[in-house]
């Protein structure tokens, strides 16, 4: 028995036919909460909390955008998707601009694509929620410890120094103050200083020297420069260039504001560390999501490959055909020096090249004798059926040309599109060559397999007509080098 899907999807559309169609497409993957108009959808949101929301824009009661606006208020983290009629994207664009939706689709919907997008959005929303909770916990623990542990190193004379000291004490910060640069260096050297407040005119030091002094504590320490001359903005600008986080210029702000600025400066290094941590976690979460996606894609290839093998296993004459075609194709791709990525496309394309046979009637597919012209027309459709099956799977789009085109011929007399050499990618020509070679060396109900040497003679006669001459030459080269040994000649 199938297990109950773990995610709940709110699906709203006022068109009964579309609603039922979508429900059929989504119900295996999601528990569905169905609404027939906008009012029902909003009511459903008040009653329960789905994992994702997919609504039509044009509905009586409330538009899709209005429903999603309500959803954003009630449950901001839940992914919101909008469907619109393709003639009018205005509503969707407006919704995108107002941050009301995560995705929008024009009808008719590609159900597979939308299903995957929903899964991704839900996973991302969950990962973000975990991160947010962690951040909150971290902030709370910091707030509890900041006051007790913050130390301000203060090198500043006169009333401005006094005012800054009072402001620091107001926040219960520890203050270590001096007016002599030598003493200050030893204060810093002792460690534990979170904020360094230095008078820009202290001793005969330049601003750059002062900044260096502050950074000696550690790179994360915040530096506040004090400029005792009135409105000396040039010093401020220079201080910021040197990495100061704040600059206090006479006349000073009142004590309360001053204490807030000290506190903010003290929080800076922690914020940076926190930011680094969060960034790192986001990067690793993204990597995990990418890995998960890849696993899903590999799973799809395995599943489809398994289907083709199951189909072949029912017929002793074709058993093992696709595995051999895949192996021969990959070796041929290597001989052409194709990149790893292109070799992978060849391998998957070869594994799935006959997937469309799933759609062919058994009595034609497994007919023991020669096919009639009508039956051959039926067999030919396995190319277009296969392409249609894979068209719905985004990650397999790159192998569709192989599946559709593996019976095309360089002389333009192949099917289904009658393409010629100039329109056939090398990947397609390689799989065609491997397919034909395996067919000639396999026994079929209506003829015996050819011997290997005879097979290569036949292959040679097909070069430039049914098969690409370069591919035939590459296959002959592989055979001569003994690299196809053990792969050819298979009877029932
Ligand atoms: Fe085929
Ligand atoms: Fe085939």
pLDDT tens-digit map of 333-369: 999 999 988 998 999 999 999 989 888 888 888 887 7
Res 313 pLDDT > 80:
no
Q: Which of the two residues, 481 and 150, has the higher pLDDT score? A: 481
Instruction: Note the pLDDT of residue 474.
Output: 97
Span from the CA of 353 to the centroid of ligand 2 (angstroms): 6
334 C-alpha to center of ligand 1: Å?
A: 22
CA 41 – CA 44 distance, rounded (Å): 5
Tell me how far the alpha carbon of residue 65 lies from the centroid of ligand 1, in angstroms: 47
Predicted TM-score (pTM) of this structure: 0.46
Distance 371 CA to ligand 1 centre (A): 15
pLDDT value, residue 6: 84
- Going by C-alpha positions, the residue among 432, 425, 434 that lies closest to residue 479 is 434
* Per-residue pLDDT at 219 exceeds 50: no
The answer to whether 54 and 118 have CB atoms below 8 angstroms apart is yes
**Cα 90 to Cα 98: distance, rounded to the nearest angstrom:** 12
Distance CA 95, CA 460 (A): 62
Residue 304 Cα, ligand 2 centroid: separation in angstroms? 15
Contacts of residue 50, Cβ cutoff 8 Å, sequence gap at least 6? 8, 9, 10, 33, 44, 78
Edge-to-edge strand order for the sheet containing 7-12? 30-35, 7-12, 52-56, 80-84, 103-106
Q: How far apart are CA 353 and CA 242, in angstroms?
A: 63
- How does the average pLDDT of the chain come out, rounded? 82
Cα separation of 25 and 36, whole Å? Answer: 17
Instruction: Please tell me the number of the ligand nearest to residue 383's CA.
Output: 1
1 — pLDDT class (breaks 50, 70, 90): very low
Nearest-angstrom CA–CA distance, 22 and 109 = 8
Ligand nearest to the CA of 434: 2
Task: Name the pLDDT band for 479 (thresholds 50, 70, 90).
Answer: very high
Q: How far is the CA of 183 from the centre of ligand 2 (A)?
A: 85
Report the share of the chain in percent with pLDDT over 70.
Answer: 81
Distance 434 CA to ligand 2 centre (A): 9
d(CA 269, CA 246): 13
Q: How far is the CA of 440 from the centre of ligand 2 (A)?
A: 11
pLDDT of residue 373: 93
Say how many Å lie between the CA of residue 23 and the centre of ligand 2: 36
Query: How far, in Å, from the CA of 315 to the mean position of ligand 1?
Result: 15
Question: Is 433 or 270 the better-scoring residue by pLDDT?
Answer: 433
471 close to 433: Cβ distance less than 8 angstroms = yes
Where residue 44 falls among pLDDT bands split at 50, 70, 90?
very high
> How many whole angstroms from 477 Cα to the centroid of ligand 2?
22
Predicted confidence at residue 492, as pLDDT, reads 44
User: HSE of 283 in the Cβ direction (CA atoms, 13 Å)?
Assistant: 6
Averaged pLDDT, 100-126: 82
Gap from CA of 458 to ligand 2 centroid (Å): 18
Whether 405 shows a pLDDT value over 90: the answer reads yes
Which residue reads 């001359």 in tokens? Answer: 229
Q: Which residue has the higher pLDDT, 487 or 139?
A: 487
Query: Could you tell me the distance, in angstroms and rounded to a whole number, from the CA of residue 328 to the centre of ligand 1?
Result: 15
Question: Ligand 2 mean position to 189 CA, how many Å?
Answer: 77
- Ligand 2: centre distance to CA 138 (Å): 59
Output the CA 406–ligand 2 centroid distance in Å: 8
Where is mean pLDDT largest: 13-17, 136-140, 168-172, 213-217? 13-17
**What spacing in Å lies between the alpha carbon of 322 and ligand 2's midpoint?**
7
Å from CA of 422 to ligand 2 middle: 22
Q: Report the alpha-carbon distance of residue 308 to residue 389 in Å, rounded.
A: 13
H helical segments located in 314-451 = 321-335, 340-351, 362-365, 373-380, 382-391, 400-405, 426-440
- pLDDT of 3 reads 66
Q: Are strands 80-84 and 7-12 parallel, antiparallel or unpaired?
A: unpaired
- C-alpha separations of 429 from 71, 386, 397 in Å: 52, 17, 18
What pLDDT is recorded for position 465? 94
Q: Which domains does the chain have, with CATH numbers?
A: 7-127 (3.40.50.2300), 150-270 (3.40.50.2300), 314-480 (1.10.3210.10)
Does the structure show a pLDDT above 80 at 429?
yes
Edge-to-edge strands, sheet with 151-155 = 174-178, 151-155, 195-199, 222-230, 246-250
> Cβ neighbours of residue 172 under 8 Å, at least 6 residues apart?
147, 148
């Amino acid at each position: 028995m199938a297990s109950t899907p773990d995610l709940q999807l709110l699906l709203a559309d006022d068109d009964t036919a579309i609603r039922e169609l979508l429900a059929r497409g989504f119900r295996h993957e999601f528990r569905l909460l169905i609404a027939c108009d906008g009012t029902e959808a909003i009511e459903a949101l008040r009653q329960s909390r789905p994992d994702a929301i997919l609504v039509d824009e044009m509905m009586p009661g409330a538009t899709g955008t209005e429903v999603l606006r309500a959803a954003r208020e009630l449950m901001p983290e839940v992914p919101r998707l909008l469907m619109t009629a393709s003639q009018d994207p205005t509503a969707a664009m407006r919704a995108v601009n107002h941050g009301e939706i995560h995705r929008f689709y024009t009808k008719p919907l590609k159900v597979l694509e939308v299903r995957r997008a929903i899964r991704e959005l839900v996973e991302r929303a969950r990962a973000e929620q975990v991160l947010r909770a962690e951040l909150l916990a971290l902030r709370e623990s910091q707030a509890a410890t900041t006051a007790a542990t913050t130390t301000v190193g203060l090198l500043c004379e006169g009333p401005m120094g006094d005012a800054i000291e009072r402001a620091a004490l107001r926040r219960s910060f520890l203050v270590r103050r001096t007016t002599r640069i030598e003493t200050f260096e030893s204060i810093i050297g002792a460690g534990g200083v979170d904020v360094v407040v230095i008078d820009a005119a202290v001793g005969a030091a330049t601003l750059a020297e002062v900044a260096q002094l502050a950074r000696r504590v550690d790179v994360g320490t915040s530096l506040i420069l004090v400029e005792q001359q009135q409105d000396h903005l040039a010093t401020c600008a220079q201080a910021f260039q040197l990495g100061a986080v704040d600059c206090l210029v006479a006349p000073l702000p009142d004590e309360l504001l001053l204490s807030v600025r000290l506190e903010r400066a003290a929080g800076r290094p922690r914020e940076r560390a926190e930011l680094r941590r969060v960034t790192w976690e986001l990067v690793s979460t993204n990597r995990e999501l990418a890995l998960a996606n890849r696993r899903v894609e590999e799973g799809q290839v395995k599943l489809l490959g398994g289907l083709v093998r199951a189909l072949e296993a029912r017929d002793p004459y074709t058993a093992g055909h696709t595995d051999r075609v895949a192996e021969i194709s990959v070796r041929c791709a290597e001989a052409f020096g194709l990149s790893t990525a292109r070799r992978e496309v060849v391998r998957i394309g070869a594994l799935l090249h006959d997937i469309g046979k799933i759609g062919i009637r058994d009595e034609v597919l497994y007919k023991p004798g020669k096919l009639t012209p009508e039956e051959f027309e039926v067999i030919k459709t396995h190319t277009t059926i296969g392409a249609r099956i894979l068209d719905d799977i985004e990650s397999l789009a790159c192998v569709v040309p192989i599946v559709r085109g593996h019976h095309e011929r360089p002389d333009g007399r192949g099917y289904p599109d009658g393409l010629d050499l100039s329109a056939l990618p090398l990947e397609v020509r390689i799989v065609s060559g491997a397919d034909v070679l395996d067919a000639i060396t396999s026994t079929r109900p209506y003829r015996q397999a050819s011997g290997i040497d005879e097979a290569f003679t036949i292959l040679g006669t097909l070069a430039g007509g049914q098969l690409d001459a370069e591919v035939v030459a590459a296959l002959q080269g592989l055979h001569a080098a003994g690299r196809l040994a053990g792969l050819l000649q298979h009877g029932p």
